[in-house]
Structure 1
Amino acid sequence: MTPPRRAVIVDDERLARKRLRDLLKVHPGITVVGEADSVETAVPVIAEHRPDVVFLDVEMPPGNGFDLLPLLPDPPHTPEVVFVTAYENFALRAFEVSAIDYLLKPIHTERLALTVQRLLSSPRREDTGDDPGEEAWTMESRVTLSDRRIKSMVEISGIVAIQALGAYSRVSVAGQPPMIILRSISEWERRLPSAEFLRVDRSLIIQTGLLRKMKMVSRDETEISLEGMQGILAIGRVATLRLKKHVRDMG
């Protein structure tokens, strides 16, 4: 029998946590293993229980749920995130950081059931380890990229960046328009050569040798430019530190 997915609820309102816990009781595929009432208290709870999913409130004065994201465990132990809030205006930002879903309060049972279905259909974290049948790619390997519009065969060395879009990914290849591919960012991470590619945060992989510029915009945001890719990418403070360390270690 498949064990249930472990969940942690983070919400500053005790009654809101209780209601969500009660609603989840009818879903045997999810078990709540912990609760927290702030970003600060959530960090040790998540570290202790290693949940598969965090149900995360947005408005938690003096901060908000987005402040927790850089503090989550590194891949492959990063839990899925479901934002739970009374405000619709955070939806775009939630999906930009690859939240698996976005629930509006008051939570309706039918809508929660869809979220649970989505969670249970996503790969389990412990199932995302290296598959012996999947060979690791080299920079000379060729891979077929296919979306609804076009199919293209590219060398791994031509991939500039990969951005997570839930179960999909946005792949930027030098000299080509970006393509939306049905392959999760975790699948890419498993097979790409780790010496040349770095998953800088839960939603972005870059080919570090193509890094051309890093500009600190604020304490919590850095803009990076990559050769072969138009525009800039914004990364957070933790991702910036990870990228700087990788570049330094690679000499």
Structure 2
Amino acid sequence: MRICKTLIVDDEYAARQELRYLLSQFTDIEVVGEATNAREALALIRSIDYHLLFLDIMMPGMSGLELSTAIRSLPRNPQIIFISAYEDYAAEAFGVDAADYLLKPVEEESLRRALQKVRQRVGIKDVTAQVHVQAPAIDRIPAQTPVGKTVLVPIRDIVFLYTEQSRIYIQTHNKKFVTRLTLDELESRLKPLGFFRAHRCYIVNLKDIKEIVPFAKGTYNLVLNDVQRSAVPLSRHRAKVLRESLGLRRFR
């Protein structure tokens, strides 16, 4: 499998993190750099042989379109996918031979199609774009208590799971545990059992969602059914997925 070294260029931290999470689902894409502006991006591109760039259009200083023109004069010419909150610049983007133009918030299906265009351009064939790992059927998750004992937490008791300061936590209705499994591993195990990746840092048990509360800029908080009534963030992209899963046009 040919690995596509990728750079994300966007001045918004949340947008970079959301895109990085979406790209983590594709086994042939490796995000090896991020930049917040064109100057940082040019320095990285001159030192690393990137195959693919995700470029925001509107950034402080040099725009993504201006950066794409500057890149064309370099010895290495990576493929470019533009990302923007506005449709206005699509014609200009394709005028500089961009592989695709995606609107924010980036949708998973649109991203998949854009990556397939990149693969066709660079001659990559027979690549599995997304992999779903099927874990063995189990009804418990191994975890550790504060005193170092290993316990098996029944999946039916788990309200949500999250990452904080490089540790992965399991929250039941009234207890918290640490697990050595990654969130991606946990998502693969738990998704078929009614769990949902609400945010790159959170997985929730759908049966334990009590309320969906609007927060800001298309995001929400999920109020959960543990003793603390924890509020878990629901990202813009995942909000749309959840609405479609529940058969709703919008949350009221």
RMSD: 4.3
* Shift in Å, 1:70: 6.9
Partner of 2:5: 5
Partner in structure 2 of residue 37 of structure 1: 57
1:25-55 per-residue CA deviation (whole Å, 9 max, x = no partner) reads: 4345x5453433328x98xx9xx8679xx9x
Q: Partners of 2:36 and 2:167 in 1: how far apart? A: 35
Write the distance in 2 (CA, Å) between the matches of 1:144 and 1:155. 9
Q: Which has the larger radius of gyration?
A: 2
Offset of 1:160 from its aligned partner? 0.7
1:155 maps onto 2:154 in alignment: yes
Give the TM-score, by structure 1 length.
0.52
| Correspondences of 1:1-251 after superposition (within 5 Å) | 3-11=3-11, 16-27=37-48, 30-38=50-58, 71-74=105-108, 129-131=131-133, 134-137=135-138, 141-146=139-144, 149-150=147-148, 151-165=150-164, 168-177=167-176, 179-218=177-216, 220-230=218-228, 231-248=230-247
Partner amino acid, structure 2, of 1:156: I
Cα distance in structure 2, aligned partners of 1:241 and 1:19: 32
Q: Paired residue for 1:115?
A: none
* Structure 1: 5+ residue stretches without partners: 55-67, 79-125
In the alignment, the residues of structure 2 paired with residue 70 and residue 163 of structure 1 have an alpha-carbon distance, to the nearest angstrom, of 25
**Residues 161 and 173 in structure 1, CA contact (< 8 A), matched pair in contact too:** yes
8 Å Cα contact 2:53/2:81 also seen in 1: no
Check whether the contact 2:52–2:81 (CA below 8 A) recurs between aligned residues: no
Letter in 2 for 1:72: V
User: Over residues 116-137 of structure 1, what are the superposed CA-to-partner deviations in whole Å (9 max), with x where a residue is unaligned?
Assistant: xxxxxxxxxx7983446x3244
Change (3 A) 1:19 1:221: closer
* Alpha-carbon offset, residue 207 of structure 1: 0.7
SS at match of 1:192: helix
Cα distance change of structure 1 residues 158 and 235 upon mapping to structure 2, 3 Å threshold: same
TM-score by length of structure 2 reads 0.51
Cα distance, 1:219–1:2 mapped onto 2, change above 3 Å: closer
Tell me: CA distance 1:136–1:201, structure 2 relative to 1, closer, same or farther (3 Å): farther
> Could you give the per-residue CA deviations for residues 89-114 of structure 1, whole angstroms, max 9, x where no partner exists?
xxxxxxxxxxxxxxxxxxxxxxxxxx
**Structure 1 SS opposite 2:53:** strand
Q: Does the 8 A contact of 2:4 with 2:52 survive in 1? A: no
CA contact (8 A) 2:11 2:36 kept: no
Contact 2:159 2:208 in 1 (8 A): yes
Q: How many residues align?
A: 174
